[in-house]
Structure 1
Amino acid sequence: MSVYSAKTGLSSILKSYAPTEREKTKAAIINKVRFRDVRSLKDAMTSMREQNNFMLLNEYAVYLKESTLNEADFIRVISEAHSMVHLLTPKFATIAENLLSLPWTNRSSEAIQKYQDFFVDLLVAQIKYVQFAISKLIVLWIPTDNDTARWPNGTPTEEKKAELQAVHKLLARILSIIPITFDVILEYVEFSFPYYKKPAHVVAGYIHNVLWLMEYQPALTEHLIQVLVQKLLILDVNAPRSEIEEAEFEEENEDDMDDDEDNDEEMFKMEDATITTTTTPQETREILPMTHPIAHTLDMCMEKMYAFFDQFNPKKELIANEGDKIPKTLSHALEFLKCLEEAFNNVILPSHNTHHVQFLVFYFCSFKNILGEKFLEFLWNKMKDPNESAIIRQASVGYIASFLARSKTLPLEVLKNYLKDLCEWAHQYIQRCDQYRANGTLKANLVFFSVCQAIFYVIAFRSRDLTADKKGLLFLQSLQLSALVTCNFNPLRVCLPAVATAFAGVTRAYQLAYCHAILERNARRKLATVYANEKSTPEEALDTFFPFDPYLLKMSGKRIQPNYLQYQPNECEDDSCSAVTNVSAAATDRLRKRGDSEMADDIDDFLIADKRQKLSELARSHEAQFTYGLSPGFHT
């Protein structure tokens, strides 16, 4: 059998080919047989015009599309086409599009230069091909799904960067010669953006190229920044904080189990050793990528954005490997802040419960104090504008409060000025509404209640700074907080419990206002409503959002932490906060036993020690239910 097979060649007939080998064989057959008589573009066009024979033209089009041109053939084809660009009218669109689709970025410098010259001259001569040509260039920005080796962390290697350099150089030439291409490029940059579930290096690599485009075409910055923020927002909302925390928690547990097993094995191996030294896994473990795949993509993309922002930092000295980038002045930073504010206003501010994308503005404002002040001024104007919707005004107040609470770089005097402005606005609102006996519901006074909670939140969060000296205490006294909490609107009833409790502790400790009686009365009214009707009724509460909650992304989070303030409770608050919480808990306990809200007025503030401890633990467990998305962060 083997002798017969060797003579007749049956073994080669029965041989199985892999799909890639089969395609290579097919391409080789096509090149050798089908295109052996293909002449030139000039001959094909001459045959079509003089003899009305389209056969050569069609074969030449297929030749361009399906053959693999070597370096010499590529230069010959492009040179011939370049000499005939005036003849490549839309009638010959198939030929022109196949020429524009030829792979060219990985060829010699001579071939690349000839292709770029042909590309530009064709678009100048035949404007109809602009859209197709631009789309072919933008597609070259997108990394392939399996090309992770040439895109580590979404950054191209030197080899890949050289290929992209040719693409961007060609785009720059086109933009300088054909102004109409500006709108076309903006359209295709947005249209070609990779799907958010693509591998992280694909999305981050594309963003790398968009940022690269902005460096040599700053006129496109405003529009492109908004496009990038929109796409990052899609990633952000598809990586909820709860899912990220759950994924990281499971990963840490698995790592801890593996580390425990490794440690056990090491202990068994080193039983006879007299001295052993151990290191904890946390000390030796490197920062790993995010476990949540979309969060990992978002982390990589946010790092790209922060690195791009660094060129606008007047205090930053760019490292040598960043090429010829020149640090921007403060005027450039202020100009770029306007672009960020526009994107923030159109994309981020109207979006509900985002988690990380808003930190783009937070990071940029950390460069200079004036940037943070300009951002706050922008938010303040939005909040005061009666023509804005109540939801937008409420969101603006939330951003003001969260930025004042979390920014380390913001001067204390700026914080005081905004606290003063917020309080003055609230007092004027109370006086104005008292004259007209306005409706006191949450819906009718949404902005007012949001402003009140912002005041309570900032004072509670920054109490250590605000009460550090006598001057700070005098400032807090000048805010007339007591008149605010005792007004007919009763703003404490709609505040988040953790905010109300923390604020009550600060004001009680420094005798600024006495909120515990109001909190107790509010608790009694809620319970009386529930038990009188024998059913639970909806409780009015603010839809609270703290936009600058702790940052969960690992890689890009390194840039946020140095300028991010964690909550530090004031030493004088602890006992007062416990007392306020104890009163509310005691009121709840008695009302449930008696079933009579009126008899709860004689609550004994002097609880015995063991009962106070139990109630304090109950209160802490109640506060712990608030996750970061709804929490003011007092437990951090």
Structure 2
Amino acid sequence: MASWDHHNIVAAALSLRVKFPTSDLLLHIVIEQFPYYKAGCYINRAYIYNLIWMSKYIPSLREQLMTAIINKMILMDVNIVERDKSKSHSETMFEMEMDERDEGAETLDYCMLEVLRWLEDERDPTLNILCNVFERVILPTHGIRHVQFLLLYTISINQQCADRVLNNLWQVAAGLHGLGPGALSTRSTAASHLAGLLARSVRVPNSRLITYLKNMADWCHSYITATREATTSSDNMKAHGAFHSMCHAVFYLVAFKHHLLFMNKENVNFVESLNLPRLVTCALNPLRSCPPAVTRAFSCVTRAHQVVYCQAIIEKNARHTLQSTAVLQYDEWFPYDPYTLPISGKIIWPLCIEYKELKDGDDETQYTSMKRKLETDDDDYLVMASPTQRLASSLSNGISPGFRTSENIFI
């Protein structure tokens, strides 16, 4: 175990710093010696723990070390996603019922825990560095399920980081950064992150939600006007991908935050000022490419409050899909879907909001439900097969934007 002692690693790092005028060699060694992500929970957790200690001794390398850690955790996250996709296609019902230990999820769970403790211990300097790392490393990555929750934690405990992150996501999604060719996927991902954080974070004030929802709707209306909606450009969804992503973010927020947005006459007037019927009925037809779960929830909410009637458009799109030979691919990735790692989840869950259906239901959220169950079964989940596998399997039939009730999570 001596090889993993953080004092030995720190001593080696300091000696290298003395011998070499630059940190390039040290960083090269840190990255090169990073354990294989399948090497096991203990080895990966210990290595990350030691790198965090190294950053305390050499603060000038803190951002580079965090970048190396986040890159490795993203690799773990991507592997979990790909493995789950593979299992959902290949496993038999008998195999799915077998209680196998999910080492990959367990490894990422404890690595997330170490980084969350790091952010809590060092606060402002480390939180600001995480914002930098998010913009460079996490934001361009599509499809991960867990690592991005470090950002939700960051904006929950630091108001300045929240202002910076939300404003930057808005700038990227709206194309105000001028990212150049190839930026469409990043803009779409930024819109998804922005909507997810505004919907999910308990620390985002309602005033900020109103501001960004208004900005997004205004941007969509300006886009419609600029493209002269009477043209035949509606069939080219790829060319208007940024517009579709922004509309989907608006639909997502209206559906997710409907309890707030329709709680009184003043808020209803605000929703009406967004002119949602124009977005729904425009020639660019954003509902056609909207993920079905979001479409259903948005249609249900707006119909109940007599703001928009989407059913005719939905049925027309369904007929068009049946007649078309091309297969329409929906982007059904929602960055802040329910967090399913049980150990680090005890820190994340209290900071997240659950989607509440239009009907009255159980006041217990999916996060408090998970926390309660895990606390009552503490001994079980430490020795039995990982509950993250059961948690993930309840979502594996189709990625949803979190439109689930608490009783569905542990099925």
CA contact (8 A) 1:495 1:541 kept: no
- Superposed displacement of residue 510, structure 1: 1.5
- Superposed displacement of residue 351, structure 1: 2.2
- The residue type paired with residue 232 of structure 1 is M
The one-character-per-residue Cα deviations of 1:558-614 (angstroms, maximum 9, x if unpaired) are 1111001111113399xxxxxxxxxxxxxxxxxxxxxxxxxxxxxxxxxxxxxxxxx
- The residue type paired with residue 224 of structure 1 is L
CA contact (8 A) 1:498 1:632 kept: yes
- The residue that corresponds to 2:112 in the other structure is 302
- The residue that corresponds to 1:168 in the other structure is 10
- 3-state SS in 2 of match to 1:238: helix
> RMSD of aligned C-alpha atoms?
3.0
CA contact (8 A) 1:499 1:632 kept: yes
- Superposed displacement of residue 198, structure 1: 0.9
In the alignment, structure 1 segments of 5+ residues that lack a partner are 1-104, 107-139, 142-159, 256-289, 314-332, 531-536, 574-623
- The residue that corresponds to 2:270 in the other structure is 475
Partner Cα separation in structure 2 for residue 377 and residue 438 of structure 1:
33
**Residues 548 and 346 (structure 1 numbering): CA distance in 2 closer, same or farther, change over 3 Å?**
same
Partner Cα separation in structure 1 for residue 287 and residue 83 of structure 2:
28
TM-score for both structures, normalised by structure 1: 0.53
- The residue that corresponds to 1:291 in the other structure is 101
**For residues 38-437 of structure 1, what are the structure 2 equivalents within 5 Å?**
140-141=3-4, 164-165=6-7, 167-169=9-11, 171-172=13-14, 175=17, 177-178=18-19, 180-240=21-81, 243=84, 291-313=101-123, 333=124, 335-385=125-175, 386-388=178-180, 389-434=183-228, 437=231
Task: Work out the number of aligned pairs and report it.
Answer: 365
Partner Cα separation in structure 1 for residue 110 and residue 360 of structure 2:
42
Which has the bigger relative contact order, CA under 8 A and spacing at least 6? 2
In the alignment, structure 2 segments of 5+ residues that lack a partner are 362-392, 406-411
- Superposed displacement of residue 226, structure 1: 0.9
CA contact (8 A) 2:9 2:50 kept: no
- Superposed displacement of residue 194, structure 1: 0.8
Partner Cα separation in structure 2 for residue 470 and residue 241 of structure 1:
46
TM-score for both structures, normalised by structure 2: 0.80
Partner Cα separation in structure 2 for residue 382 and residue 167 of structure 1:
39
- The residue type paired with residue 298 of structure 1 is L
**Residues 505 and 215 (structure 1 numbering): CA distance in 2 closer, same or farther, change over 3 Å?**
same
- The residue that corresponds to 1:94 in the other structure is none
**Residues 238 and 250 (structure 1 numbering): CA distance in 2 closer, same or farther, change over 3 Å?**
farther
Partner Cα separation in structure 1 for residue 251 and residue 119 of structure 2:
33
- The residue that corresponds to 2:365 in the other structure is none
CA contact (8 A) 1:241 1:629 kept: no
- 3-state SS in 2 of match to 1:366: helix
- Superposed displacement of residue 181, structure 1: 5.0
Partner Cα separation in structure 2 for residue 358 and residue 539 of structure 1:
30
The one-character-per-residue Cα deviations of 1:321-364 (angstroms, maximum 9, x if unpaired) are xxxxxxxxxxxx2x534422332233222223111111121222
Partner Cα separation in structure 1 for residue 19 and residue 261 of structure 2:
58
- Superposed displacement of residue 295, structure 1: 1.1
- Superposed displacement of residue 472, structure 1: 1.4
Structure 2 residue corresponding to 1:514, chosen from 289, 292, 309:
309
- The residue that corresponds to 1:564 in the other structure is 352
**Residues 193 and 166 (structure 1 numbering): CA distance in 2 closer, same or farther, change over 3 Å?**
closer
- The residue that corresponds to 1:635 in the other structure is 404
Give the percent of matched residue pairs that are identical in Structure 1 and Structure 2.
35
- The residue type paired with residue 429 of structure 1 is Y
- The residue that corresponds to 1:547 in the other structure is 335
- The residue that corresponds to 2:384 in the other structure is none
**Residues 252 and 526 (structure 1 numbering): CA distance in 2 closer, same or farther, change over 3 Å?**
closer
Partner Cα separation in structure 2 for residue 213 and residue 425 of structure 1:
45
- The residue type paired with residue 63 of structure 2 is E
